[in-house]
Structure 1
Amino acid sequence: MRRTPGRVVAAVAVGCVLLMLLHGLVPNGAGHPGSLLRTFLPWTGLSVPVLLAAALVLRSRLAVAAALLPAVAWGCLFAGTLADKRGGGGELTVVSHNVDENNPDPARTARALAASGADVLALQELSAASAGVYERELAARYPYRSVHLGVGLWSRYPLDGVETVPIMPWTRAVRAAVDTPRGPVAVYAVHLASVRVTADAGFATGRRDDSARKLGEALRAEPLPRVLVVGDFNGTAEDPALRPATSGLRSAQRESGAGFGFTWPAAFPMVRIDQVLLKGMAPVSAWTLPATGSDHLPVAASVRL
């Protein structure tokens, strides 16, 4: 049977639908295509206007009808994400931010974060030059802190049981019990290893996945029932390769945010790789903050203890 252009468009549309609905079956073999697809899955919706445009140019009713199928599939996946689920009544607010070691004005970034009203701040990519700047600028509002080269925690409430979490050979995670008026909350500030996209290895996530496994081991040993895990995960909360760290945790953005909450790159956010995850508490609101001079947007969440 001769393959007409309209049928080709329809076949591509069906392929897009299958890719959307069966994304969880894409394996994480060579090149980690499963992680790559999951990271950019919301953007598969761009296939809809492209397919519709092709169908209209071809004047094919079959192609037009088929092009609407990816729109339905995308809506099934993400309609709930687009809803505004933000509420009020939170008892603890946390802000996490990869401040970018090349940030040209860390003092301005620190003041913007302090003005957010957060009870707890978790910062990543603290450099030798900038760590002291953040300590100085945040000292007035946050009397308790645990600052390391790489990551740091600042809090309005006392910090107990502070320790680094060995997810990499150098410090990329720190844990502390925040002594809130409603009892302690274990807070983990983390920065998982970076990923690389190369011609030979594809979506190279080995180091990141290894750091996620080590973080997961620490979380499984956590004695406190209320846990916040915040930071730069270099991956989405739904990435199957990160399940050793994210299993058993809830995404504040997914449950109490509005939209996708993309965080990177700050100039034109396309993915959400900065997370606020939790258990033992109820998220009531989640949002992103304005750009600060970093290549990431800050993320915030308010929770009920």
Structure 2
Amino acid sequence: MARVDMTETENGGTSGPRPGLGARLARLRRDPGIWRRGIVLALCAVVLALLMVLHADIPNRIGNLGSLTETFLPWLGLFVPVLLVLALLRRSATALVALLVPVVVWLNLFGGLVVDKSEAGGDLTVVTHNVNADNPDPEGTARQVAASGADVVALEELKGDMVPVYERVLAETYKYHSVQGTVGLWSTYPLRDAQPVDIRLGWTRAMRATVAAPAGEVAVYVAHLPSVRVKLNAGFTANQRDDSANALGEAISHDPHQRIVLLGDLNGTMNDRSLNAVTSQLRSTQGAAGDGFGFSWPASFPMARIDQIMVKGVEPTSSWSLPETKSDHLPVAARVKL
């Protein structure tokens, strides 16, 4: 026997059968306002999609607004469930249909990142970590990094009086190392030609060395690009970072080595147009062989991947983030096939 739901009245009686789901859907379809309601929500959905599609056209002239948008571009997807709830509350078919546009755009841009692309194998494991100049436990941080099992470790933001601590602790695992300014490279395999790289800062925050791995030599760059700033009178400023990125890209373009690995804190994501001088030559290990977005900063609640492992002439097989240390950045790691 079919079930008939009764609607209860205020005095406890019933007022007759309550429409079933099919009847309510039919009534909703006959509602002439279902397509007229929610026009504003539909327009918001279209604007959201356009922001994601045309992010490269957002001007940087006003407070580097374009780079700021690109840094947090994946997070624009959070507006989709908000608009979905509002569209359902408004009972707007127009808004629901329009919402498909930003969903498709977001999946096209970032859908490939949310699946695991890692595979077994690889010849070299590398790690990069901005250890934070004000790290309260450099010894513990060094031990955590060494415990990762990496063959090659790059550290950035090395404070002068803390360098001996890192050298002492890491010497137990890594026989070879070179520190240039505030960046350093540690390796289980021999290093040669270690030298600073000029990224137009007036002091050394980048270096290059050749790692003689058993599977073949590889040129390894370590870089710490200047931080971006948010200023009340200037907005999101990144001119110094951008100049350094261009200098780093120029150095890499002139490198005669076929195999190149870049490790470091670039203070920008792969979507940031200001890093084009670098990202146009190299590819991200996280994008090629990672699982998820691999956000690395801030360590307490990662929202952006500004710590990068990028490669040229080698094949990434896996990429991941390491557990939190006493730094404000997470260490990131990758394994590559030479």
2:317 equivalent in structure 1: 284
- Of 226, 231, 234, which aligns to 2:264? 231
- Of 96, 99, 102, which aligns to 2:134? 102
Deviations 1:2-32 (A, max 9, x none): xx76111111111101111222222332322
- Of 53, 56, 60, which aligns to 2:88? 56
- CA drift of 1:79 comes to 1.0
> In structure 2, what is the Cα distance between the partners aligned to 1:10 and 1:223?
52
> In structure 2, what is the Cα distance between the partners aligned to 1:272 and 1:236?
6
Opposite residue 299 of structure 1, the aligned amino acid is: V
> In structure 1, what is the Cα distance between the partners aligned to 2:98 and 2:249?
43
> In structure 2, what is the Cα distance between the partners aligned to 1:12 and 1:30?
23
With normalisation by structure 2, the TM-score equals 0.87
1:87 equivalent in structure 2: 119
1:187 is aligned to 2:220? yes
1:76 equivalent in structure 2: 108
1:206 is aligned to 2:242? no
1:21 equivalent in structure 2: 53
Deviations 1:227-256 (A, max 9, x none): 001100000123111111222111111000
- Of 151, 163, 167, which aligns to 2:195? 163
With normalisation by structure 1, the TM-score equals 0.96
- CA drift of 1:37 comes to 1.3
> In structure 2, what is the Cα distance between the partners aligned to 1:8 and 1:78?
26
1:295 is aligned to 2:328? yes
> In structure 2, what is the Cα distance between the partners aligned to 1:270 and 1:86?
22
Opposite residue 49 of structure 1, the aligned amino acid is: P
Report if the CA contact (8 A) 1:145-1:155 is conserved: yes
2:281 equivalent in structure 1: 248
> In structure 2, what is the Cα distance between the partners aligned to 1:69 and 1:176?
47
Deviations 1:171-198 (A, max 9, x none): 1001100111122211001000110012
Report if the CA contact (8 A) 2:180-2:206 is conserved: no
1:47 is aligned to 2:79? yes
2:250 equivalent in structure 1: 217
Opposite residue 184 of structure 1, the aligned amino acid is: E
Residue identity over aligned pairs, in percent, reads 56
> In structure 2, what is the Cα distance between the partners aligned to 1:281 and 1:35?
29
1:150 equivalent in structure 2: 182
Report if the CA contact (8 A) 1:39-1:239 is conserved: yes
Alignment RMSD: 1.3
1:66 is aligned to 2:98? yes
Secondary structure of the equivalent of 2:160? Answer: coil
Opposite residue 159 of structure 1, the aligned amino acid is: L
> In structure 2, what is the Cα distance between the partners aligned to 1:197 and 1:79?
30
Report if the CA contact (8 A) 1:48-1:68 is conserved: no
Secondary structure of the equivalent of 1:112? Answer: helix
Deviations 1:258-299 (A, max 9, x none): 110000000000000000011011011100001011100001
Report if the CA contact (8 A) 1:291-1:298 is conserved: yes
Report if the CA contact (8 A) 1:195-1:204 is conserved: yes
> In structure 2, what is the Cα distance between the partners aligned to 1:238 and 1:229?
17
Secondary structure of the equivalent of 2:113? Answer: helix
1:129 is aligned to 2:129? no
Q: Give the aligned length.
A: 302
Opposite residue 76 of structure 1, the aligned amino acid is: N
> In structure 1, what is the Cα distance between the partners aligned to 2:156 and 2:109?
31
Point out which structure has higher relative CO (alpha carbons under 8 A, 6+ apart). 1
Opposite residue 273 of structure 2, the aligned amino acid is: P
Gaps spanning 5+ residues in structure 1: where? none
Change in Cα spacing, 1:179 to 1:68, as seen in structure 2 (3 Å) is same
2:301 equivalent in structure 1: 268
> In structure 2, what is the Cα distance between the partners aligned to 1:31 and 1:283?
35
Opposite residue 190 of structure 1, the aligned amino acid is: A
